[in-house]
Structure 1
Amino acid sequence: MSRPATTHDLIGIGLGPFNLGLACLGHPLDDLDAVFLEAADGFSWHPGMMLPDATLQVPFLADLVTMADPTSPFSYLAFLKDVGRLYPFYIRESFYPLRREYDDYCRWAAERLDTVRWGERVVAVEHDGDAYVVRSATGRTWRGRHLALGTGTAPRMPFDVDGPALHSADYLSRKDDLLASGSVTVVGSGQSAAEVYADLLAEQEHHGFELTWVTRSPRFFPMEYTKLTLEMTSPEWSSYFQALPAPRRAEAQRGQAALSKGISSETINAIYDELYRREASGGVDTTLLTATEVTTARWDGERYTLDLRHTEQQATGALRTDSLVLATGYAPRVPEFLQPVRDRIRWDEQGRFLAGPTFAVDHADAEVFVQNAEEHTHGFVAPDLGMGAMRSSVILSQVLGREPYAVEKRIAFQEWGIPDRYRDQAAPPVEASPPLVEGRAQRHPLVEERAQRASRDQVSR
């Protein structure tokens, strides 16, 4: 295997918000040689859901860098100042940017980086005995000691479906087709389902289609956003979650839908107000079904038949609809290009990445890091934009052998688990999940080498 001339400290694969944040935080570090490869020709974040009035569900402080470095020139406030919108944002008095503004911000940041290589779709990752070799479809090759995988998630399809059904990820590109049909059914429980339903509801008066929203949740529940609950987006809660045995982590996740998959109360209230207005004006042709699961979707060439099961009554039924929108979320995916190095990576029993405390998934626990592919090990905070800067800080500290950005270890008032001072000393210790808590007494040789080099440089200064 021929070797590229340069061996980078870090190669990032994929450039969504998380790897983009890692690139921005790494940009000013003189002792970091990094490159980021992205298949697309430019940055684009969920274009199919870029609705005009949609906002982020996290404050602007959850940008690419601020929670790690508030002084960074890549902050959201720096973007607003650069484009002349800082004062309008201030006068608006809302912590929550428009989704379109956030997309513009990320594109602005990406264009200021010289470490990004656009149009480089990675097709293979190999290891030559000393470092990873990354090959793209263009024939170019890069070599690096560490990898950061930010390849994103794929639309989740909870049941087999054929025909012209679309995922909410493609909603805007096919909206005109929906408006021209006689009936539209939206399936889903979270913010995306609510936004699609609200947008179609606003169009219904002009186009006259029948509109149905089906959710298997027992109600249209709001995102839980109280302050003590928000403390769960913290390093110590994530550490607590990681230490739970895998079955208990899965059980805990099932009870946390309102923490990450709920609907903003503003969206719920706006939908109700529109339904009330329409009812007062003569009625509205819409149906909202809760606690109802779609088990199959059959396409006969003209319409869908959705088989329904009520989760509380255990009753079954069927719904006929011309068009189907699946707002059923996203799931991490394991890229095919990792096949040559699968033996270097830890996997759980379901074939998912088994990430350790530092987001590393390789057996050495120091070479391959994941961004937003660790929800099953680190909890619901994995896809949270507000935790991205902290995760990037941890990854950079592992790559460099030093902590370029302070990583908060404790920020919460509350405790998770029984504190040692209250623990019954006679009770057996809580069984932890070994792959997530062992092996950090010694650093990997690559990390140790960087740390020793940094220490020597500091002494020489």
Structure 2
Amino acid sequence: MSASTSSAGTAAAPSTGRVHDLVGIGLGPFNLGLACLADPLDDLDAVFLEARDELAWHPGMMLDDATLQVPFLADLVTMADPTSRWSFLNFLKQTGQLYPFYVRESFYPLRREYDDYCRWAAEGLASVRFGCPVVRVEHTDDLDLDAHPGLRDRLHEGLDPHGAAGAAYVVTTASGETVLGRRLVLGVGTRPRVLDSVRAAGGPALHSADYLPHKQRLQQQRSITIVGSGQSAAEIYRDLLAESPGHDYELTWLTRSPRFFPMEYTKLTLELTSPEYSAYFQGLDAGTRERLLREQRSLYKGISGDLVDEISDLHYRLRVQGAGPRTTLVSATTLTGARWDGEAYDLDLRHDETGEDFGLRTEGLVLATGYEASVPDFLDPVRHRLRLDERGRYLADSRYAVDRAGREVFVQNGEEHTHGFVAPDLGMGAYRSSAILAAVTGREVYPLEKRVAVQSFGVPDHLRRAPAGQGATR
């Protein structure tokens, strides 16, 4: 989930513990899934460091009736190992909830019970360590080992059964402890994306990630504006709309999208989350990948169709009850500027279809503007060992490795620009963890599906021939 991003000094604290085969930094669902899949492997020594004292998955958006947008099969392990003791179904069985979940007849778990499931798994794994914020990562090749005899001795205590013996990454925590690992898996997650104009304006604007802790203060305002087009924006709007009769605020929802569109969830579209499409996407040039990600927003940044309908039905009920809310929904609108005068925001807006510039004054401002990956500062001492693009982003290969050697540092959910929109998709987490474990161990511990899609991506080999009129023969 998180890890400290501060950086200081050089490795000075004595190394503690053995040299691990793998050190995971951060514990969101993806690294947690990797920890679960690594758990039964006797020949793999892995440890996972999490900055916080306990696991909490998007606590600021833990609305009571919010559900996942993926089925329960997209848990931590099932798509890699349906027999794993760390499956969601086993969690339900162990906590006495399996039959109630069965009677409910929905493939989509509540967000709150998924959070409980992740916490159950994290607390049951011996490889997970909480309260360990990472402040620095170095490599022994860059250190004077004569100045660190304890570190040198630790490196030569045994041979690495998977190669790369005699060298390791030195992971230093805030307490001064050093954890040694021959490989790293970065799972520090993404950070909330805040619009530059709003950040520069200052004031009490909040990101959707912090919605619930600030909800009561927000509802004391006379006007509230939500900016965003995805599921989080819709959930916050529905929540505030439902409670609007008990408050006196005007509610506005602005989105850049041309409409409040539902997430596309048809079966052939779902094949774009397949290994084949991910491999195809990696082979495209960077410009084409960027264009496709913009065009595919409705596949992963839309709103569930059920929620779109619920919002419409809620408007109707409130109108029938005579409690018609003071609310405005505006699509195709871009926020171009913001100023805070101590009492309210003055927002500069532009309607992208009419070209009209207009303004809005609002006391409360919620940015449901998504998240973005970044390379944490604690990696600065080893940046020269990493493959980064011209924008400073990870260049992940087909096995999710981002180091120059292609076998030492792996990333979870930091490769959207290279692998496509499946990077944050919970349904592909187990597959990515299986690929990383295969790269680390040198074998497919969990079989990696080679083809699952009906359709072909790119030109199929049997259709590769010159077009008619260019000398082709039939």
With normalisation by structure 2, the TM-score equals 0.89
Q: Distance between the aligned counterparts of 2:120 and 2:224, measured in 1?
A: 37
Alignment of 1:54-93 (within 5 A): 54-93=66-105
Alignment check: 8 A CA contact 1:236 1:412 kept: yes
Alignment check: 8 A CA contact 1:131 1:144 kept: yes
1:142 aligns with 2:179: yes
1:191 aligns with 2:231: yes
CA RMSD of aligned residues (A): 1.2
Task: Give the CA deviation at 1:280.
Answer: 2.8
Alignment check: 8 A CA contact 2:224 2:362 kept: yes
Query: For residue 144 of structure 2, what is the aligned residue in structure 1?
Result: none
Match of 2:24 among 12, 15, 19: 12
Task: Give the CA deviation at 1:3.
Answer: 5.0
Task: Give the CA deviation at 1:4.
Answer: 4.7
Query: Please, which moves more after superposition, 3-12 or 386-395?
Result: 3-12
Give the 3-state SS of the residue equivalent to 1:274 in structure 2: helix
Alignment check: 8 A CA contact 1:159 1:295 kept: no
Q: Distance between the aligned counterparts of 1:268 and 1:387, measured in 2?
A: 25
Q: Distance between the aligned counterparts of 1:426 and 1:363, measured in 2?
A: 40
Q: Distance between the aligned counterparts of 2:325 and 2:48, measured in 1?
A: 50
Q: Which runs of 5+ in 1 are unaligned?
A: 428-461
Letter in 2 for 1:147: L
Match of 2:454 among 410, 413, 420: 413
Give the 3-state SS of the residue equivalent to 1:318 in structure 2: strand
Q: Distance between the aligned counterparts of 2:99 and 2:204, measured in 1?
A: 45
Alignment check: 8 A CA contact 1:159 1:297 kept: no
Letter in 1 for 2:314: E
Alignment of 1:2-41 (within 5 A): 3-41=15-53
Query: For residue 350 of structure 1, what is the aligned residue in structure 2?
Result: 391
1:202-229 deviation per Cα after TM superposition (whole angstroms, max 9, x unaligned): 1100012100000010000000000000
Match of 1:222 among 242, 259, 262: 262
Alignment of 1:138-177 (within 5 A): 138-161=175-198, 162-177=202-217
Task: Give the CA deviation at 1:281.
Answer: 3.2
Q: Distance between the aligned counterparts of 2:195 and 2:407, measured in 1?
A: 34
Q: 1:174 to 1:3 in 2, by over 3 A?
A: closer
Alignment check: 8 A CA contact 2:191 2:373 kept: yes
Query: For residue 7 of structure 2, what is the aligned residue in structure 1?
Result: none
1:106 aligns with 2:102: no
Letter in 2 for 1:139: G
Q: Distance between the aligned counterparts of 1:201 and 1:143, measured in 2?
A: 51
Query: For residue 155 of structure 2, what is the aligned residue in structure 1?
Result: none
Query: For residue 397 of structure 1, what is the aligned residue in structure 2?
Result: 438
Letter in 2 for 1:52: D
Match of 2:169 among 132, 138, 145: 132
Q: Distance between the aligned counterparts of 2:228 and 2:26, measured in 1?
A: 27
Q: Which runs of 5+ in 2 are unaligned?
A: 1-10, 142-166, 469-474
Give the 3-state SS of the residue equivalent to 1:219 in structure 2: coil
Q: Distance between the aligned counterparts of 1:148 and 1:350, measured in 2?
A: 21
Alignment check: 8 A CA contact 2:241 2:325 kept: no
Letter in 2 for 1:122: V
Letter in 1 for 2:462: R
Q: 1:3 to 1:206 in 2, by over 3 A?
A: closer
With normalisation by structure 1, the TM-score equals 0.91
Task: Give the CA deviation at 1:78.
Answer: 0.2
Give the 3-state SS of the residue equivalent to 1:138 in structure 2: coil
Query: For residue 298 of structure 1, what is the aligned residue in structure 2?
Result: 339
Q: Distance between the aligned counterparts of 2:374 and 2:384, measured in 1?
A: 17
Q: Distance between the aligned counterparts of 1:186 and 1:164, measured in 2?
A: 13
Letter in 2 for 1:345: L
Query: For residue 318 of structure 2, what is the aligned residue in structure 1?
Result: 278
- How many equivalent residue pairs? 427
1:287-306 deviation per Cα after TM superposition (whole angstroms, max 9, x unaligned): 00000111112100001111
Letter in 1 for 2:365: L
Give the 3-state SS of the residue equivalent to 1:6 in structure 2: strand
Q: Percent identity?
A: 65
Query: For residue 147 of structure 2, what is the aligned residue in structure 1?
Result: none
Letter in 2 for 1:401: G
Q: Distance between the aligned counterparts of 1:84 and 1:69, measured in 2?
A: 22
1:379 aligns with 2:410: no
Q: 1:423 to 1:184 in 2, by over 3 A?
A: same
Letter in 1 for 2:248: G
Q: Distance between the aligned counterparts of 1:121 and 1:46, measured in 2?
A: 18
Q: Distance between the aligned counterparts of 1:181 and 1:200, measured in 2?
A: 12
